[in-house]
Structure 1
Amino acid sequence: MSVTIRPAEKSDVRGVAELIEEIERFYGTTDADIQPFDERQSQVEEALFGSPPLASALLVEDEAGDIVGLAAYSYLWPSAGSTHSLFLKELYVRDTLRRQGIGVRLMNELRAIADARPGCSRVEWMTDRVNPDARAFYQALGFEEHEGKVVYRAIASTA
């Protein structure tokens, strides 16, 4: 199957919101915990197209025009010294399209975006230790796992 990889556009908000539900289900989120669609769609629009945008996304579009994958990223500062890094938050390709080189294309595109941005010194990302497929994918691309960081998370108050 032929796919196109391109930056997200405002007209993609609905499709991205639909794909995010698929991603949440992939990670085991239950129906009771899935965010209502209208709320999710509004947050996608704000994140990608607000002023200023919080993130950027590359989308994978199939021949029918459906969004079947994404790479969501933003920039972190400081990185090495006073440089910044492109941080890949989510890489996802629909299961029926995996192992066809789409993830490799997304990673190559992200590296090209980072290389083209002055002051961007690296691309960084994380994956779950309990996701052997993702770990094998990154290792097959020649990336090494790094030790030393412990991830903390605090839930923001909605009040």
Structure 2
Amino acid sequence: MTVTIRPAEKSDIRGLAELIEEIERFYGTPDAGIQPFEERQDQVEEALFGSPPLASALLVEDEAGDLVGLAAYSFLWPSAGSTHSLFLKELYVRDALRRQGVGERLMNELRAIAAVRHGCSRVEWMTDRVNPGARAFYKSLGFAEFDGKIVYRAEAGEA
């Protein structure tokens, strides 16, 4: 199957909101935890097209024009010294297209974006230790796991 990888556009908001629900279900979010569709659409629009945008996304579009994958990322500063990094927050490809090189193409596109952005010194991302598929995928691309960080998380508004 032929796919196109391209930056997200405003006309993609509905399709992205649908894909994000699919991602939530993939990670096991129960129905009660799935965000209402209209609210999700509003958040996609604000995140990608607000002023300023909070993130960027590369989309994978199939021959029929359906969104079948995405790589959502932001730039973080500071990274090494006063440089910044491209931080990959989410990489997702529908099951039917996995193991066909689509994820590798997304990773290559992200590396190319980082390479041409002045002051960007690296691409960084995380995956869950309990996600052997993702870990095997990144290892197959030649990426080594980095043990140097511990991730902390707090909900907004928590003291």
Report the TM-score when normalising by structure 2: 0.98
Q: Distance in 2 between matches of 1:43 and 1:99?
A: 30
**Structure 1 residues 29-108: aligned runs within 5 Å:** 29-108=29-108
**Post-superposition CA distance 1:32-64 (Å, at most 9, x none):** 100000000000000000000000000000011
**Post-superposition CA distance 1:81-100 (Å, at most 9, x none):** 00000000000000111000
Partner secondary structure for residue 60 of structure 2: strand
Contiguous gaps of at least 5 residues in structure 1: none
**Post-superposition CA distance 1:103-159 (Å, at most 9, x none):** 00000000000001000000000000001010000001110001021111111139x
Q: Structure 1 runs of 4+ off > 4 angstroms?
A: none
Q: Distance in 2 between matches of 1:138 and 1:154?
A: 27
Would you say how many aligned residue pairs link Structure 1 and Structure 2?
158
Q: Distance in 1 between matches of 2:122 and 2:145?
A: 15
Task: Supply the RMSD in Å over aligned alpha carbons.
Answer: 0.9
| Partner amino acid, structure 2, of 1:113 | I
User: 1:149 is matched with which residue?
Assistant: 149
| Partner amino acid, structure 2, of 1:78 | P
User: 1:4 is matched with which residue?
Assistant: 4
Partner secondary structure for residue 54 of structure 2: coil
Q: Distance in 2 between matches of 1:96 and 1:46?
A: 30
User: 1:20 is matched with which residue?
Assistant: 20
Q: Distance in 1 between matches of 2:154 and 2:132?
A: 26
Report the TM-score when normalising by structure 1: 0.98
